[in-house]
Every structure is written in structure tokens, then in C-alpha cells.
């Protein structure tokens, strides 16, 4: 069963596939090692075999050529977040490399995570503060735009003998 939980879509979207949490790094890349476990963890499907594949290397190079803002693949060998982190396009390619069934499961899970609108946790002070600040900034911007539009309407419709419509 696929379980998704996050207050809003961001690189920090928590994705679970069949009970396996798919971790992410600060750049929004996903842990290929977690996907390997979610796929069943078979030795033949280890991330290194996939990354050694010529087609995978061509895909990585093409992503770099397109100028994406982060490295498409990064291997972290120590610490709490060790693993191989990849962009979403490579997640999809890896899932396709494993099997059609796993590929479809990953696509459906990731699509659901990125399109599912969820309410923020109003009991979380940080989320509530961010939400209120966002609304306040939006209100200030709309008020400023309203003043500009009101002035423009007054200028367009005013004549020396009163208002002309």
C-alpha cells in the first residue's frame, strides 16, 4: 500500500512505497537505496548495477547538459544520510529498469505525492507561522496592486467636468 504524507508539495515530500520510506536530501533528490528496498531488495537490482549501465550514464549526462540546478546523482558515503541520491527522472528510469510493475507503482506514487493537495498542520507552530506570513505578504501585494489599479482607473475616467464613463 502506498502512503504519502506531507503538508505541501516541496522537495521534502515524504514518499512511502509499500511501507518503505523513500528519503530525500536537501536538494529534493531521492534515495536510490530506499527505492531498491521498496522494489524487494534483490541483489540484481542494486543501484550500482543500474548506475554502471551505459544508458543510465547517458541519461545523467543529458540531465547535466540541460542545466538542472543540482547534480542528478550524488553518493554520500558517511553520516546519517548516506546513500545514492538522484533526481526524479532517474528515479523513474531506475524503476523502469527494475520492472514494469515497480515502474508503474513509482510513477503513481510520485504523481500522487506531487499533485495531492493537503492541508497544513495548524498545530505545528512553524507551519502556522509560514502560512500566516504567506497570507500577510499576499495581502500586502494585493493591496499595493489595488492602489495602483484604483489610481489608473481614476486617471482614465476623470475629466475636468467630473467623471466620464
Rg (CA), the chain: 24
Task: From 113, 134, 147, 128, select the one nearest 28 (Cα to Cα).
Answer: 113
Closest among 106, 103, 80, 86 to 31, alpha carbons compared: 86
Question: pLDDT tens digit string along 84-117?
Answer: 999 999 999 999 999 999 999 999 998 887 665 5
pLDDT reported for residue 159: 67
Which pLDDT value is given to residue 164?
59
Q: Give 28's DSSP letter.
A: S
Task: Output the nine-digit C-alpha cell for 125.
Answer: 507552530
Confidence bin at 131 (pLDDT 50/70/90): confident
Amino acid at each position: 500500500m502506498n502512503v504519502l504524507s506531507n503538508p505541501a508539495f516541496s522537495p521534502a515530500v515524504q514518499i512511502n512505497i509499500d511501507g518503505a520510506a523513500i528519503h530525500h536530501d536537501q536538494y529534493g533528490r531521492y534515495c536510490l537505496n530506499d527505492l531498491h528496498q521498496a522494489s524487494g531488495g534483490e541483489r540484481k537490482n542494486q543501484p550500482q548495477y543500474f548506475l554502471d549501465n551505459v544508458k543510465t550514464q547517458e541519461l545523467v549526462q543529458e540531465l547535466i547538459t540541460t542545466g538542472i540546478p543540482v547534480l542528478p546523482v550524488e553518493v554520500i558515503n558517511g553520516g546519517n544520510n548516506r546513500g545514492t541520491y538522484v533526481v526524479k527522472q532517474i528515479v523513474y528510469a531506475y524503476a523502469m529498469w527494475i520492472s514494469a510493475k515497480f515502474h508503474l507503482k513509482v510513477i503513481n506514487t510520485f504523481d500522487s505525492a506531487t499533485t495531492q493537495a493537503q492541508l497544513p498542520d495548524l498545530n505545528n507552530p512553524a507551519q502556522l507561522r509560514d502560512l500566516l506570513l504567506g497570507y500577510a505578504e499576499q495581502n500586502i501585494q494585493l493591496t499595493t496592486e489595488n492602489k495602483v489599479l484604483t489610481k489608473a482607473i481614476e486617471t482614465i475616467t476623470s475629466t475636468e467636468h467630473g467623471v466620464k464613463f
